[in-house]
Structure 1
Amino acid sequence: MTRRPDPALCAAKPSASRGRLHAEPESANRTPFQRDRDRIIHCGAFRRLKHKTQVFVEHEGDYYRTRLTHSLEVAQVARTLARSLGLDEDLAEAVALAHDLGHTPFGHTGEDALAERMAPFGGFDHNAQALKIVTRIEQRYADFDGLNLTWETLEGIAKHNGPLLPGVGADRSGLPYAIADYDARHDLELHTHASAEAQTAALSDDIAYNTHDLDDGLRAGLFTVEEARTLPLVGEAWAEVDARWPGLDPLRAQSEALRRVFGMMVADVTAESGARLARLGASCMAEVQAAPEPVIAFSSGMRAAISALRRFLMARMYRHWRVARMRRKAATVVSDLFAIFSEEPHLMPPDWSAAARAAGAGGAAERARVIADYIAGMTDRFALQEHKVLTDPQARA
């Protein structure tokens, strides 16, 4: 009888980790990936996610998801999927918790505004910024900058959207600066796929934001239940709730329906990924990384359903006039702050001002990157406060 390949054979093994850039003694109580997870949770950038928003500007309401609540939801899904597939749960969770550390205030709007300002200086990318935070910006340890995470966690952060290079020796000029800078010191093999655990974290991100953006959009009144029910998955889930609990309170019905949408996505990824891993028959993590396609994925049918959902959210939520107004204000805040600090770096706090002056010796691009780091680390409320102090004559400094 032919023995069926065990998908768990390709899981990342803590005992076989490729280690850290700076050698450290191993913990007696935690695996290397557990230590990574704990370091991420305790870092300052993770705490600030509490006051960084997804779609809505923070002061518009306290109910809507923040980057922190989103990251926790992604981590929960990643652990569930990893457990179902026999992968290392701690590595999947660590990558999930770190994936949004590099986000600017005001979500993708702030990122777009900062990227526009940074275009002459190498650009700005939140995935690259997350890598920079955990390898340079966080300063909590005596022996090194950053968190000194394992190679596997850093690989997962850098390759959140898949391989970054078509092959070894390819031109690296198009890489985000922060990723190219770190990769030159510590090769992350950017031409390959990430581990199955990191791929799991990336798909968990999709599952989480697809469902919670529906929830937030409905609660904000940006579209109606009747409109949402025209969507694949959503209509099926709501019909099931109606049949089981006729006349259920609308908010409870919404929660029950979206919980089912969530479950459908998780079940689909579990089935499709289990089949891909079994077909590949990988006996180690390296074979997953070298595979011609991702091993953690949605089925073709689920991808089509999610594409329809994303088109709906783009038209009815992300481009809604109320959201567009907030996006306009947020972009102005970020753009203005960059212009002000570029002209007068001494208006930043002393440590950042000193860093900008020191970086200036290396050229305008180096100074601009320090200013971008300062702005990217701001919470929504702090960015609004800084903008008001610097632009409103009646505001107290």
Structure 2
Amino acid sequence: MKKGRNELLLEEEKILAPYAVKSRHSGTRAYVEPEHPYRLPFQRDKDRIIHSHAFKRLEYKTQVFVYSEGDHFRNRLTHTLEVAGISKTISKVLGLNEDLSESIALAHDLGHSPFGHAGQDALAELMKEKGGFEHNKQSLRVVQKLERRYPEFPGLNLCEETLLGIMKHGGGYEPTNLLVVRREKGPSLEAMIVDSSDEITYSAHDLEDGLESGLLQLEEVKTLSIWKRIQDSLPKTEKKSGSEIHSISRSIGRVLLNLMVSDLIETIHQTLIQYDVNTRESISELYSKKIKIVQFSEEFQKEFVELKHFLFQNLYRHSEVSRMSERGKEIIYLLFKHFESHPDSIPESYRNREAEDGRMRIICDYIAGMTDRYAIEKLKREGIFWFPY
């Protein structure tokens, strides 16, 4: 039987929980478009994000390790896909709108600069007198303005609920009607799920990549409170002392993900029951009262905080990671200063917006959109004197 739009909408409303975001009432776009005969609004958003130029470039953007360090470490694209998968899993179990969660997750890092958080720090410093830079805000800018796939409108013209979900922190954005709605309604439960899935994902895969790279030692990990849970859940073959570190690290990442997702789902479920949440408005009301719906159980939260602190001290501040970060920052500083004094080196599509946005903002947009390897190649092509180290 062929299902049209109306059948799909009815089917969705039967499946989704009462507090989920429904497609029938959430297809509002900044630029009016006819509805698709068989794709619901958030499905279209997901497809538009996947087909965007910014999404394709994520493959060559740093997560922790730059692309040249190895083929098997996570990059910004693999991280994004993992966040989308976990968000979809949690949403499915809780009766939420999977397409909305997946769309938000796929778009959440579109505005990330090359060279990971080091690149963001460099651009934030360079732009501190001109509106600053923060990758969540840049992601919104990408989907609303910078992508140019459609001649009828700038950006991707995503649904309002998707845009509200991308506004991860809800503050510091331009004073638009969208910001007013975000402050009044707060994030959807789907958006909160993506936010937590992001933390879950990078904590597990950074631990795994850190062990596989040799920057983290298994004996150090075993000192963490959460290790007891991990050890109890490891396959029997991995508990043998003779197992290879690569095999163990993959098992640890997988087991840790499962532990975190399971605890989060159960805690959210209990919170929804406790506060008798049965509408989207109920979610907004709890948010306004600063009652946290999406969180771990109390004991697990303590262990999770300890894990994040461990990663910060032992991986993100590791001398090798710091060396790569400083290298990335230096490349961005050099490129930015070069484009300031040589605007003809900036592509015409960016220069066309200089009167509207100012030179520094278009330079920031251009550099933020670069991949790691393109930034390095651009440095060479422009003949900028630089010593890699």
Equivalent residue, structure 1, for 2:6: none
Equivalent residue, structure 2, for 1:222: 215
Say whether 1:376 aligns with 2:371. no
Between the aligned partners of 2:320 and 2:385, the Cα distance in structure 1 is 28
Q: How many residues align?
A: 368
Offset at residue 119 of structure 1 (A) = 0.2
Q: 1:185 to 1:284 in 2, by over 3 A?
A: closer
1:329 to 327, 332, 350: 327
Between the aligned partners of 1:333 and 1:122, the Cα distance in structure 2 is 21
Between the aligned partners of 1:197 and 1:229, the Cα distance in structure 2 is 34
When structure 1 is superposed on structure 2, of 15-24 and 277-286 the one drifting more is 277-286
TM score, norm. by length of structure 2: 0.89
Structure 2: state its 5+ residue gaps.
1-14
Alignment of 1:5-44 (within 5 A): 8-17=17-26, 19-44=28-53
1:295 to 293, 296, 313: 293
Say whether 1:389 aligns with 2:387. no
Contact 1:347/1:353 (CA < 8 Å) preserved in 2? no
Cα deviation code 1:23-48 (max 9, x no counterpart): 11111111111111111111110000
Cα deviation code 1:69-96 (max 9, x no counterpart): 0000000000100011111111011001
1:146 to 146, 152, 155: 155
Between the aligned partners of 2:38 and 2:81, the Cα distance in structure 1 is 24
Between the aligned partners of 1:17 and 1:385, the Cα distance in structure 2 is 43
TM score, norm. by length of structure 1: 0.87
Query: What amino acid maps onto 1:147 in structure 2?
Result: L
2:248 to 250, 253, 261: 253
Contact 1:33/1:94 (CA < 8 Å) preserved in 2? yes
When structure 1 is superposed on structure 2, of 272-281 and 246-255 the one drifting more is 246-255
Equivalent residue, structure 2, for 1:309: 307
Local SS of the residue matching 1:83: helix
Alignment of 1:270-285 (within 5 A): 270-285=265-280
Contact 2:233/2:255 (CA < 8 Å) preserved in 1? no
Query: What amino acid maps onto 1:85 in structure 2?
Result: L
Local SS of the residue matching 2:127: helix
Say whether 1:56 aligns with 2:48. no
Calculate the aligned-residue CA RMSD, in Å: 2.1
Offset at residue 211 of structure 1 (A) = 0.2
Q: 1:111 to 1:265 in 2, by over 3 A?
A: same
Equivalent residue, structure 1, for 2:203: 210
Local SS of the residue matching 1:206: helix
2:83 to 74, 82, 86: 74
Equivalent residue, structure 2, for 1:170: none
Offset at residue 390 of structure 1 (A) = 2.5
Contact 2:164/2:178 (CA < 8 Å) preserved in 1? no
Say whether 1:130 aligns with 2:124. no
Say whether 1:180 aligns with 2:174. yes
Between the aligned partners of 1:224 and 1:248, the Cα distance in structure 2 is 14
Local SS of the residue matching 2:261: helix
Contact 1:238/1:253 (CA < 8 Å) preserved in 2? no
Overall identity of the aligned pairs, in %: 40
Contact 2:27/2:41 (CA < 8 Å) preserved in 1? no
Offset at residue 7 of structure 1 (A) = 9.1
Query: What amino acid maps onto 1:215 in structure 2?
Result: E
Offset at residue 308 of structure 1 (A) = 0.7
Equivalent residue, structure 2, for 1:201: 194
Contact 1:237/1:258 (CA < 8 Å) preserved in 2? no
Equivalent residue, structure 2, for 1:109: 118
Local SS of the residue matching 1:62: coil
Contact 1:228/1:235 (CA < 8 Å) preserved in 2? no
Query: What amino acid maps onto 2:128 in structure 1?
Result: A
Between the aligned partners of 1:380 and 1:103, the Cα distance in structure 2 is 11
Local SS of the residue matching 1:119: coil
Cα deviation code 1:34-72 (max 9, x no counterpart): 111111111110000010011112222221101100000
Query: What amino acid maps onto 1:202 in structure 2?
Result: D
Offset at residue 254 of structure 1 (A) = 2.6
Query: What amino acid maps onto 1:93 in structure 2?
Result: E
When structure 1 is superposed on structure 2, of 53-62 and 30-39 the one drifting more is 53-62
Between the aligned partners of 2:315 and 2:303, the Cα distance in structure 1 is 17
Equivalent residue, structure 2, for 1:85: 94
